[in-house]
Amino acid sequence: MLLQLFKKKEPYTTFWKWFVKNESYINNNFETNKESILDELNNKLKEIDTNLTFEISHSNGEQHREIIISADGIAESFDHVINLCNAAPSITNWTIIAFRPRMNSNGIEIKMGEIVLGYDDIYFTYESNGHYIDLKIYMKYEEEDRNQYINMYFILLDSLIGEFDAVSKIGNTEFFSLENSDDPALQRFIELIDIIDSL
């Protein structure tokens, strides 16, 4: 039993041993050697779970950074995120965060190529389904760019309600063109926060 427990913890402790050994270099060289640092960190996380990803904040002027460990919205990998972050030691100048957090903003927009999508461009209706809700999402989009808009929507969803709630409290999601809807029950995207928090 003890051997099994050790084997379960081993990949997490191995990652943090490597991180602690290299954190000073990462902290001091992130802006100047970003690509190679991101590649190496990505490879180390993929050794635990190929779905894991991460974000590192810019220095706040006092060499303090945040590293966010994410399952990239894939529920099957949530345990690895939780276990990895729980195994993290206390590291000076670093804050370890499990899952992409809420951005605490009433208006965010992102741009991919020529396409721009923000909170104000998204509307929804929903149906309660036990401990989660099913969503119908309405956006303006050109049909040939539909998949790109959907990818951008999920990024905005994580920023609005956080990655954990986005996966654990939302069931099915369907997408529709806003131009084809005259549903008076449509709600603004920002209103989703109160609905999620009430579950």
136 and 57: one domain? no
69 and 24: one domain? yes
CB-CB contact of 73 with 84 (8 Å): no
18 and 86: one domain? yes
Asked whether residue 125 is assigned to any structural domain, the reply reads: yes
116 and 193: one domain? yes
CA dist., res. 145 & res. 158, Å (int): 21
**Residue 184 CA: distances (Å) to CA of 3, 19, 27, 177, 188:** 60, 52, 51, 15, 12
CB-CB contact of 87 with 12 (8 Å): yes
pLDDT at 2: 39
144 and 181: one domain? yes
Residue range 40-68: mean pLDDT, rounded: 89
74 and 122: one domain? no
Q: How many domains does the chain have?
A: 2
| Structure tokens given for 36 | 């190679």
CB-CB contact of 139 with 178 (8 Å): yes
**Domain span at 155:** 109-198
pLDDT at 183: 80
The helix (run of H) or strand (run of E) holding residue 136 is strand 132-139
Helix (H), strand (E) counts: the chain: 6, 9
Last residue of a domain, one of 35, 70, 98: 98
CA dist., res. 185 & res. 182, Å (int): 9
pLDDT at 131: 86
Long-range contacts, 107-115 (Cβ 8 Å, 24+): 107/190, 108/156, 108/159, 108/160, 110/152, 110/155, 110/156, 112/148, 112/151, 112/152, 113/148, 115/145, 115/148, 115/149, 115/152
Question: How, if at all, do strands 94-98 and 65-70 pair?
Answer: parallel
Last residue of a domain, one of 73, 98, 123: 98
121 and 169: one domain? yes
Flag whether pLDDT at 60 surpasses 70.
Answer: no
> Strand, helix or coil at 164?
helix
50 C-beta neighbours (distance < 10 Å), count = 11
Q: Which tens digit of pLDDT belongs to each residue from 120-177? A: 999 999 999 888 999 999 998 888 899 999 999 999 999 999 999 999 999 999 999 9
Closest CA to 67 of 96, 103, 37: 96
Asked whether residue 126 is assigned to any structural domain, the reply reads: yes
* Full-model pTM: 0.82
Q: Which tens digit of pLDDT belongs to each residue from 64-117? A: 899 999 999 999 999 999 999 999 999 998 999 999 999 888 889 999 988 999
117 and 31: one domain? no
Asked whether residue 103 is assigned to any structural domain, the reply reads: no
54 and 135: one domain? no
Flag whether pLDDT at 28 surpasses 50.
Answer: yes
pLDDT at 3: 39
Asked whether residue 179 is assigned to any structural domain, the reply reads: yes
Last residue of a domain, one of 79, 98, 117: 98
Q: What is the dihedral of CA 23, 28, 33, 37, to 10 degrees?
A: 10
Query: pLDDT-based confidence at 192, cuts 50/70/90?
Result: very high
pLDDT at 191: 96
